[in-house]
Amino acid sequence: METIRGIVPPYLLRHIAGLEEDRFATAAEAARRALSERPVHGGHAHPSVRPPVVDAELRRKVHDAENGTDLPGRLVRGEGDPATGDVAADEAYDGFGATDALFRQQYGRTSMDDAGLTLLGTVHYGVAYDNAFWDGTQMVFGDGDGEIFGRFTASLSVIGHELTHGLIEYTAGLVYRDQSGALNESIADVFGALVEQHAAGQTADEASWLIGVGLFTDEVEGEALRSMAAPGTAYDDDVLGKDPQPGHMDDFVETTQDNGGVHLNSGIPNKAFHLVATELGGHAWEVAGRIWYETLLGDLSPRATFEQFAQATVAVAENHDAADVVRGAWQAVGVWTNSTSPSSSSG
């Protein structure tokens, strides 16, 4: 089966799984299950073998796993159906719509595959399941353990993030390991943030640039899972520890865990995008987001390094009068120095 791309990094789940305090007993057990459980599919073809859809209207299907692990589960809401009254199911349905709206309205894309792919989701997966993920076929949402994490449909940036993993599969196909994997995670954060900003009509300066707001319970001293504006500051908690994301190449993490640190080192390109968006101002999806989107559609190696991706974004930015801004952002996070960055041009 496909690699599960979960919103909660494995290093954080491992930390929670090792907690010995009685007040986090449920969370510890839930984290252990999240690290070990694998979903069972029934009735879904892999996206690569689905027939093309001629009618490219938005299609959504939300299922209920009823705390089991068989996917997709019982269908509870299809496209155009009224709200179910189940908060998680309705949040997933609305989040799919908000994600589709960004890509359809701003970039002319019809679903993640640009051919009307039905957006599939399953809520109430597992028992107190501590994650949400895209598994190569659909979105899956846990309810959280209630001690550290609440329900995973509560954050629109999470829904946008995970569906963007599907978009990446259909475009650049970035390998989920090392720097290309960190780019995969970062791009998912970029568009997760933009989905949230687009839905709220926020400018770059108004946005929080936080990924996963609303996931933590009140027991946790933290705002979100990650901060694009200031990587490493999303949480600082006596139990969970401090957010370990770097925001500069000087602090790049060399590790074999988490597919080579994909959830850690994604903070570096995240910060680069934030710098571009805030320097350009206005709505971040209009220019900064379009540059990143068009880069995904270009001739990008599936194993692209940060430097290769940076070069590709600068080349695209030339067409948007933003090359100098993009170049400067990558310099600011240490991907290039003044002496190694591509020469300035008319951008």
User: Of the residues 63, 165, 263, 283, which is catalytic?
Assistant: 263
**Is 318 noted as a catalytic residue in this protein?**
no
Angstrom distance (rounded) from CA 282 to CA 249: 28
8 A C-beta contact, residue 133 and residue 140: yes
Give the tokens for residue 142.
């846990």
8 A C-beta contact, residue 309 and residue 269: yes
Give the tokens for residue 231.
């990587």
Angstrom distance (rounded) from CA 187 to CA 270: 8
8 A C-beta contact, residue 164 and residue 67: no
Q: How far apart are the first and last CA of the chain?
A: 43
The angle at the Cα of 27, spanning 22 to 32, to the nearest 5 degrees, equals 115
Interhelix angle 323-332/306-317, rounded to 10 degrees, is 160
Residue whose pair of structure tokens reads 């609440």 in the numeric block: 150
User: Of the residues 162, 185, 196, 223, which is catalytic?
Assistant: 162
8 A C-beta contact, residue 10 and residue 130: no
DSSP state of 132: E
**Is 147 noted as a catalytic residue in this protein?**
no
Angstrom distance (rounded) from CA 199 to CA 192: 11
Which residues carry out catalysis? 162, 263
